[in-house]
Structure 1
């Protein structure tokens, strides 16, 4: 029985690999936050803590193994500010590290010059407390979902340009008191990719 399943997997994968197109590239852009109030330091605190809008860069790898569908994995570094709304206001730079999987559905089949798409999937976001780094374990990891749309356009026989707009929805980090709702990150980015 194992041999049958193994054989079916190998033949299925071979057919999939024959049709796939691979893309890898970088992107950069802006990120806008909504629901960015993440609470207070103390239960009765009145000085609200917020995360501010910023910028991002990252990379994505895509396997388009069907004419109208693909799978994408990516990483993004988001730069933001941790702001304590006290008198005077206190700010410190910080980061959000993001890893995501997206399922892509293209409006136009593989092989065309311009391909608009919609996407959706899941991600994790590691919010770093100011003064710490991800390597020191100084972050709060939250899981969420995202959706969006974009367009890819071939500019040479191996390079394409892409434009993406995506909305990421996560739980709020650090479990501060007086916290409610979810934090949403809106990405607007442009990137270049190498494709096969």
Structure 2
């Protein structure tokens, strides 16, 4: 559920911890902890906060997008899952989308498609759809990616198959798909 600023102020009261302070404490704890379990839990919480557009300014201020981009390259499968989910949750916002694309996010998210983790792959595919805007099309809608989508469209996993088919139908033109099919035969 999305919250209004007025609702948040009423809920926390004049002396309660504000949303920015709470998010700051999560970021600080993430940066300082040595515990992988704590990092996973914090990153999962931050990813969940990404659902609420009221948090986008705070996320940019606290460099949470950078945390997600960094964690997506981690060796810990769960951190990658939560980071890819976090990026998926925030990338509909125009500023976040542009930031992710300009900071090598397309390449990083694409790497997630090789993951064995189903949730990571689904988040990655969805994120790539959301990251498409005129300036990013050339980077995302490549022949190599069309070939990858054709392969995923054949997947026995219905979620992958459906997302790949939607991607092919909505974002690639017929010529691109035919060209990719030549290489996949």
Query: TM range, normalised to the smaller chain?
Result: under 0.3
Using the size of structure 1 for normalisation, the TM-score is: 0.22
Bigger Cα Rg:
1
Using the size of structure 2 for normalisation, the TM-score is: 0.23
More strand per residue: 1
More helix per residue: 2
